[in-house]
Chain A
Amino acid sequence: MRGGTTTTWRLVSLSPLPLWALVGLGILILLGVVLAVVGLSREPSSWRRRVLLLLRLLAGAMALFFLLEPGLRQLAQVRVKNRLAVLIDRTASMGFPTRPEGPSRASAAAEALQRFAPGLEGLKDSFTVEVLGFSPELGPVPAESLATPGSGNRTDLMAALRALKATDTGGTRKLAGAILLSDGADNGELQGGLTPKLTEELKALGFPVSTVRVGEPALVDLAVENVKVDDFAFVRNAVSVELELHGRGLKGRDVPVVLQREGVTVGTRTVHLDSEDDRKPVSFTFTPDQTGRFVYTVGAPVFPGEAVTENNSRSFVLKVIRDRVRVLLVVGRPTWDERFLRGLLKQDPNVDLVSFYILRTTADDTQTRNPERELSLIPFPMEEIFDTKLHTFDVVVFQNFGYAEPSLNIASYERNLEAYVQGGGALVYIGGDHAFGEARAMYPVLDRALPVDPTGSPSLQEPFRLKLTADGLRHPVTRVQTSEPATQSSWDELPPASGVNLVRPKAGATVLLEHPTARVDGRPAPVLALWEYGRGRALALMTDDSWTWAFTARKAGGQSRHYDRFWGNALRWLVRDPDLTSLQVLADPPTVEPGRPPGAVVTARQPDYQPAASAEVRVDLFSLADRKVLQSRSAVAGNDGVARVSFDPVPVGAYKLRATARLGGKELGEADDAVAVRSTGPELADASVRTELLAEVARVTGGRAYQLPLGSLPDVPLLDPPMVEVGRSKDAPLWDRWGWLVALAVLLGTEWLLRRRFGYV
């Protein structure tokens, strides 16, 4: 029987004598008995000997009784209520269905708990029943939220039991047992099963853990698990993605695994599953060709009857950065313009320069008998640089290049170059007597990518002062000083340019430098123009005199770094240095846990690259799967030009953020970023139910293993609650009755009388 206060009696010694005195007196009594035995050894009559010995023994016992002063002690005791813990798995895997098309495991657990309720109620006389959740931290869980799957991204049964044990502080906190409702999908310490050490630790818990398996073992499921990839990669450098394909019930199947970047297939692997429960490593190696943040998705097809389909694909965000800006410099002929640009690019540790100069044309006479052995020249590898390797460059610079002779004419690669810019590359076209239609070669296709059109007129070869346009004063390429007046002054101080190719700017081009007097179509002749072409950028400089900014301008000894800053700015703008874009959007964070709200931080700048305070910012969140805008948010930028928006949680998948901004009715630009909604841990990768693990835990701890469905609370083993003494005790002496004294006197008297009669006294 459990519960209630009870009274118990206990026989105790009430003697005030110390223990040594009691022992001494006891020895004396024993000696008295021994002397009697010795004294009676010659008695011929056995019955006399027995009677006398019996009387002496009884007298000794009676003397001992008086010596110990026995009494009864009354004790009041109560049976303490122990705790019964019901542990509910609140991790994300409980969101998986119990079976295909079935309710979630969390729902099944909640329903089971309702069925257990009467049984648990019945135990409340003896036990305090606590319902706790773990995800993996242990804590109370409201009954109304039980049916909703938790968001815990890690199942660690051992940690939960350890935390439960820590609450067992004895007394009323002592645990009588635990009932664990879980799918057993442990990805913590028990992921690999029970080890001897963990077994010992489970045994040491000191209470039985009965397990209730939630969910049915899936017959068929395919899961992409353990995706391993770095958070960032370098553009044009190989990246490896490693993962495991876990297939159950798909023995003998060939499964195609596809890696996609925002809908574009990057690689495909076919995996053969050899057993009913097979894990196969899969790896992809690819080379990103663009910088930015992209969502990559590894996916496998969904087979009929799969328990869970969400784990057939996994998305991750990869930030692709550049290690160094890779520049291809193609030079029509050696000039001082080329010399100083090369010097600048070669000394920049952030630039990886690959150059090709035309040092000799077929018209040149090298005065050699054996050119192969006497000259260091190599053939112009047009196919290699303008076809196979073109995509490996961030920026292609043509410097006064425009040969018509077949061995140097790049006309057959025009389309490649135009497509390169269209696809995100950057092109710089520097003028001179071989450029912009002055050459014998024309490149009409490549010209499409340029921000200017050749006029067909000969170049002007009169010295002139460069004129910075209003756009040039603010544009990051030409803003060589921190303030506009200083920038203007810096350009004004440059030596005169000696000539300019006559071109006309295209619609959409931005002219940063112009001729002060020469005009084309009624407008000042542009000297520096740029624009965005497709996904790429192009810059045209219609003079070959920029080297004088580095050298001639320093004849007076100034320390101006005008030349370095101009070309540094140009390169940064061409490769879309984030610091030089007018609008930036960053997913915050780039990977969102399921159920959490995606967010974005937008930084808006004005055309002069000052913070666009009060800009109206709009951010669209759209799915990469169906290219539909799912949610839109608007915000107003603060004084720092920054606005933050947050979206409602969206399902697991890959998404794109597109930001636009307006200030004073003018568009400030558009920017993209990527966000992946997925569990960062392995929780949602594996939908398996670990029946064996749950059974082992129950067996080792002394509990029992059950499986849902259960109609009611099973008869789980529980430790009996201990009895605890409460209140004060009460002693009742037994020895101080007169009858005991009479009995002792009678015994001693009888022995004396018999001894006299038998002749011993």
Chain B
Amino acid sequence: MLSPGVVSHPFSRRTLLRSLPFLTLGARALGFGDGARFVPAVAQHGGRWDGRMSGMRRLAWEIQRRTSVEVVAEARPLSLTNPRLFDHPFLYFSGDGEYPPLSAAEVESLRRYLVFGGFLLADANDGSSGRGFDASFRRDLARVLPGAALDPMPAAHVVFKSFYLLDSAPGRLFLHPQLRAVNLGTRSAVIYSQNDLAGAWERDESGAYAFEVSPGGEPQRELAVRVGINVSMYALCLDYKDDAVHLPLILKKRR
């Protein structure tokens, strides 16, 4: 109800429709539009890019449930040249098998996206290494960020303590013990999993998990969810957990 003397826009049908998806997320107050919330965008490319859409929605849902972050529990597929890509600083880029090289415009747009602050979570749904998605992704990453190294992330990286205290980063698979990252300055702009992270979160139409998780089973699935939350928290908070005020307590907890 408006206070006396205040005249504002009426509550519109559009506003009502926009708020509907959140009714399932409890009675939290909502930020201003999607921009205030965490909405994972999913990159479209010439290969099988959409195999983990429900997994990304599930990740958003888990973030909403477990943290103070407000989300839109959906995944927004966007081409890399779509201007709306710049409404979503979190981009999920995955594939199952090889995909055609990105166009020059896509490469340029993705470069701009990353350099100006966007975050890319790359995920090899096929668990490949040196072939399949891995080969294609490394090929295009070298075009997007020439000279940038895709280095293994050390265990001390803040992503392993951005919300949960983690020691490893499994996904649906656990073939590669380490995540990899491309750093732009002090910021990891790209984090790459070759363990099919979102495969552990993916659900089928009946609501059941779509894939078995191996070799760790359900505990590994929970770990995969935590990795997803930590990566999202890192995208949102950067190195917050590396601030001096946190270090003594975190070190104590890790003992």
Contacts and interface: CB of A to CB of B under 8 A. Distances in A.
Contacts of B253: 372-373, 376
A581 B187 CA distance: 35
Interface stretch (A51-59, A91-99, A350-358, A741-749): A350-358
B235 interface: yes
Contact of B29 (A434, A457, A500, A502): A434
A519 B236 contact: no
B235 A462 contact: no
Given A340-B117, A372-B253, A357 B237 contact: yes
A554 interface: yes
Contacts of B187: 343
Interface stretch (A186-194, A241-249, A328-336): A328-336
A199 to B, nearest CB: 61
Contacts of B222: 367
A519 B235 CA distance: 36
Contacts of B117: 339-340, 343, 550-551
Contact of B185 (A347, A353, A455): A347
A461 interface: yes
B34 interface: yes
Interface string A534-562: 00000000011101101110111100000
A438 B3 CA distance: 13
Interface string B64-86: 01111110000000000001011
A441 B18 CA distance: 25
Counting chain A residues whose Cβ lies within 8 A of the other chain, the interface size class is 35 or more
Contacts of B225: 367
A439 B29 contact: yes
B66 A432 contact: no
Interface in A356-402: 356-361, 363-368, 372-378, 381, 400
A543 B243 contact: no
A742 B82 CA distance: 146
B67 A359 contact: yes
A518 B5 contact: no
B225 to A, nearest CB: 8
Nearest to A353: B243
B36 interface: yes
B18 to A, nearest CB: 8
Contacts of B66: 360, 364-367
Contact of B31 (A359, A400, A462): A400
A346 interface: yes
A361 B68 CA distance: 6
Interface in A546-599: 547-548, 550-552, 554-557
Nearest to A440: B29
A697 to B, nearest CB: 62
A7 interface: no
Interface string A664-693: 000000000000000000000000000000
Given A365-B65, A438-B29, A457-B8, A343 B15 contact: no
A460 B8 contact: yes
A373 B165 CA distance: 8
A499 interface: yes
A542 to B, nearest CB: 10
A463 B65 contact: no
Given A343-B238, A376-B246, A360 B67 contact: yes
Nearest to B250: A376
A221 to B, nearest CB: 51
Counting chain B residues whose Cβ lies within 8 A of the other chain, the interface size class is 35 or more
Interface centre among B2, B37, B68 (most CB of A within 10 A): B68
B245 interface: yes
A342 interface: yes
Given A336-B89, A461-B32, A462-B12, A521 B6 contact: yes
B191 to A, nearest CB: 15
Given A373-B165, A455-B3, A432 B32 contact: yes
A61 interface: no
Contacts of A361: 68
Contact of A498 (B7, B34, B69, B86): B34
A343 B14 CA distance: 33
Interface string A508-552: 000000000111111001000000000000000001110110111
B238 A552 contact: no
Interface string B28-45: 111111111110000000
Nearest to A376: B161
B86 A551 contact: yes
A237 to B, nearest CB: 17
Contacts of A462: 9, 12, 14-15
A334 B237 contact: yes
Nearest to B85: A555
Contact of B163 (A346, A363, A377, A521): A377
A12 interface: no
A334 B69 contact: yes
A159 B185 CA distance: 61
Interface centre among A439, A458, A498, A551 (most CB of B within 10 A): A551
B211 interface: no
Contacts of A338: 236-237
B106 interface: no
A462 B34 CA distance: 11
Contact of B32 (A372, A543, A557): A543
Contacts of B108: 557
A131 B101 CA distance: 98
Contacts of B238: 339, 342-343, 346
B84 to A, nearest CB: 8
Nearest to B112: A557
A494 interface: no
A498 B112 contact: no
A756 B68 CA distance: 155
Contacts of A335: 31, 36-38, 69-70, 236
A438 B6 CA distance: 15
A356 B249 CA distance: 14
B241 interface: yes
Nearest to B235: A339
B29 A433 contact: yes
B7 A519 contact: yes
Contact of A550 (B12, B18, B116): B116
A499 B89 contact: no
B125 to A, nearest CB: 24
B68 A358 contact: yes
A497 interface: yes
Contacts of B162: 376
B209 interface: no
Interface centre among B1, B35, B67, B233 (most CB of A within 10 A): B35
Nearest to A520: B6
Interface in B192-239: 222, 225, 233, 235-239
Contacts of A211: none
A256 interface: no
Interface string A125-161: 0000000000000000000000000000000000000
B151 interface: no
B240 interface: yes
Contacts of A89: none
10 contacts: A339-B89, A342-B238, A346-B238, A346-B239, A359-B68, A432-B32, A432-B36, A500-B32, A557-B108, A557-B112
Closest 8 CB pairs of A and B: A499-B32, A498-B33, A555-B86, A334-B236, A333-B68, A433-B29, A456-B3, A376-B161
Given A364-B66, A368-B164, 5 more contacts: A334-B68, A346-B239, A363-B28, A377-B163, A433-B31
Interface of B: 1-3, 5-9, 12, 14-15, 18, 26, 28-38, 65-70, 83, 85-87, 89, 108, 112, 116-118, 161-165, 185-187, 222, 225, 233, 235-241, 243, 245-246, 249-250, 253
